[in-house]
Structure 1
Amino acid sequence: MTLRPDWLPALAAFETAARHQNFAHAAEELHLTASAVSHHVRKLESRLGVALFQRHARGVSLTAEGRQLADAAGSALADMESVLSDLRAADAERNRVRITTLHSWTHSWLLPRLPAFAALHPRIQLTVDTEVALTRFDQGGPDLGIRHGQGHWPGLTAHHLMGDTLFPVASPQFPGIAQVRTPAQIAALPLVSDLARQGWADWFRAADVHGAHLDERYVFSDSTAAMNAAAHGLGVALARERIVTPYLAGHRLVPLPGPRLKTRFEYFVVYPSHRRLRPAARCFVDWLLSLERE
């Protein structure tokens, strides 16, 4: 006997009724009436030439033939549900982009722009890892990364994303800050530092301030923490333009006199050279690169 597509509604009604051992409960699950479920079951019984349920005053119960069909139908549906779940997971994975990136850059530059990406690409899902250690791009690892350097990492393709500049900032409430007119005056103030590869010594050299004793009173491993420390009035921080912009826009920090020093290290988007980017990851890379071309 060939299983034709027009059997499927009756089989679905039977499988549900068999699980519940009750036509009314099956009807509720299927959004049908109990009489419609009963009609489907009788139609199936007629086609098969066997009784699938015993009907009695207290309700219904499966016959031996009904139990055999119920076991087969339940097993088939479970197999189909497993396959459907795998297909849904595979579709979600195709639209998942895993990114390893820098905490400060993510917090200050990327996050304010992500709503625009989400509006353009609502199906793409992002997983963002901001651990300090450089992540290995192994199978199952991140699709791409944002790195700060000179653009050369073995085994990685690197696209230049953006440059940066360094300049001093402080809270507008820092005592006497309004009277600071020269870089030499900044050298006499408490300084806030991070662990970047260019720091205050480089900036004062560019500002032609030599021989000053620098009071680097607070040192943070993260640039965002350094910006927050300056915003709370602990001292003057050497800011990176890409990190400090939200603080300047919110008037939590103000720029101080002196040059804007171009950084030796810049931002790059990177991914394994041996692995082709999946479409969703390529879409994210293209979006990032387009921002700096605008």
Structure 2
Amino acid sequence: MTLRSDWLPTLAAFESAARHQNFAHAAHELNLTASAVSHHVRKLEARLGIALFHRHARGVLLTPSGLLLADATSSTLADLDDVIGRLRRSPADNELVRIVTLHSWSCGWLLPRLPSFAALHPGIRLSIETGAALSQFEEGGPDLGIRLGGGHWPGLAAHLLMPEHLFPVASPAMVRMCPIESVAAVARMPLIGDAGRQGWHDWFRAAKVRGVTPDERFHFSDSNAALNAAALGLGIALARDRTAEPFIQSGRLVQLPVPVLRGRWSYYIVYPAHRRLRGPAQRFVEWLQGEAARAMP
């Protein structure tokens, strides 16, 4: 049968509701009301003569027929979105990849590796935006993001890139002046904190030290600033392995011989679940995954 144009709004509403498994979340994405999304889905079900969702108090679940239609609809709408995007962009913009990520990860892990990407893909241009990495990926926004978290964000596809580990670091001069080879020795030193969601309290708890009140002399909102402060001899910083790499490799900081804390969160590549990555963005992701695999211990 020929698909009439008046099917498109109902299919778009169904695809979003199927992806989110929730009419309210689909309504927010489509700038509609939840009742409007529900109306579109019921209209589609009436036209097809089948149920597409099982409704329950906490949301909806796809029926087998709904799952079949959701797969086809998602693929078709992604193809349309990709073609329309390419038609609207200039040839130069088609080779531009916009990435939103954390400043500390960008400076500490990504930048030292970018010459490798530039050599492999000289035609691809990158725009790297740093901040809280919480972009909503609106129309015209970034292609993808690198986020630190648990791997579940509504409406986003998330692919594990790398885990995170935390460990104390100090300047070589501080280590020479006062050897720091135990958890107790760390506790006696001035400490440097940052705004990360895991900090000194978590590290001391994991090291099975009770009753310690960390003497956090300096606190920074950015972990790179905390590492720079440690390199200047102001105290011991709790480093994140991915962002501390350049400091340790250059000898500005030394990893102390004390326990390492496995991070509660990991780094993920994220992008809208309903949108396929464009070719240049996909090539950047594949390069990124290869670099992360090579960096694994």
TM superposition score normalised by structure 2 = 0.67
Give yes or no for contact 1:170–1:177 (8 Å, CA) kept in 2: no
- Cα distance change on mapping 1:110 and 1:275 into 2, 3 Å: same
SS of corresponding position for 1:184:
helix
Instruction: Tell me by how many angstroms 1:276 deviates.
Output: 1.4
- The residue type equivalent to 1:197 in the other structure is R
Q: Does 1:160 align with 2:160?
A: yes
Instruction: Tell me by how many angstroms 1:236 deviates.
Output: 0.3
Residue 213 of structure 1 is matched in structure 2 by 213
CA–CA separation in structure 1 for the residues paired with 2:132 and 2:138: 17
Residue 135 of structure 1 is matched in structure 2 by 135
Give yes or no for contact 2:100–2:133 (8 Å, CA) kept in 1: no
* CA radius of gyration, larger in: 1
Q: Which runs of 5+ in 2 are unaligned?
A: 1-86
CA–CA separation in structure 2 for the residues paired with 1:160 and 1:177: 41
Instruction: Tell me by how many angstroms 1:188 deviates.
Output: 1.1
SS of corresponding position for 2:282:
helix
Q: Does 1:264 align with 2:259?
A: no
- The residue type equivalent to 1:293 in the other structure is A
CA offsets per residue over residues 142-169 of structure 1, 9 Å max, x none? 0000000010011100110001111000
CA–CA separation in structure 2 for the residues paired with 1:176 and 1:281: 46
TM superposition score normalised by structure 1 = 0.68
SS of corresponding position for 2:173:
coil
Instruction: Tell me by how many angstroms 1:131 deviates.
Output: 1.9
CA–CA separation in structure 1 for the residues paired with 2:154 and 2:181: 45
Residue 94 of structure 1 is matched in structure 2 by 94
Instruction: Tell me by how many angstroms 1:209 deviates.
Output: 1.7
- The residue type equivalent to 1:164 in the other structure is E
Residue 249 of structure 1 is matched in structure 2 by 249
CA offsets per residue over residues 231-280 of structure 1, 9 Å max, x none? 01110000001111111111111111311111010000100011111111
- The residue type equivalent to 1:121 in the other structure is H
Structure 1 residue runs of 4 or more that deviate by more than 6 Å after TM superposition: none
CA offsets per residue over residues 158-183 of structure 1, 9 Å max, x none? 11000111100011112765422211
Identity of aligned residues (%): 56
CA–CA separation in structure 1 for the residues paired with 2:120 and 2:227: 31
CA–CA separation in structure 2 for the residues paired with 1:270 and 1:90: 25
CA–CA separation in structure 1 for the residues paired with 2:270 and 2:158: 4
- The residue type equivalent to 2:219 in the other structure is V
Instruction: Tell me by how many angstroms 1:293 deviates.
Output: 2.7
Residue 53 of structure 1 is matched in structure 2 by none
Residue 14 of structure 1 is matched in structure 2 by none
CA–CA separation in structure 2 for the residues paired with 1:99 and 1:140: 12
CA–CA separation in structure 2 for the residues paired with 1:209 and 1:285: 40
Residues 104-123 of structure 1: pairs in structure 2 closer than 5 A: 104-123=104-123
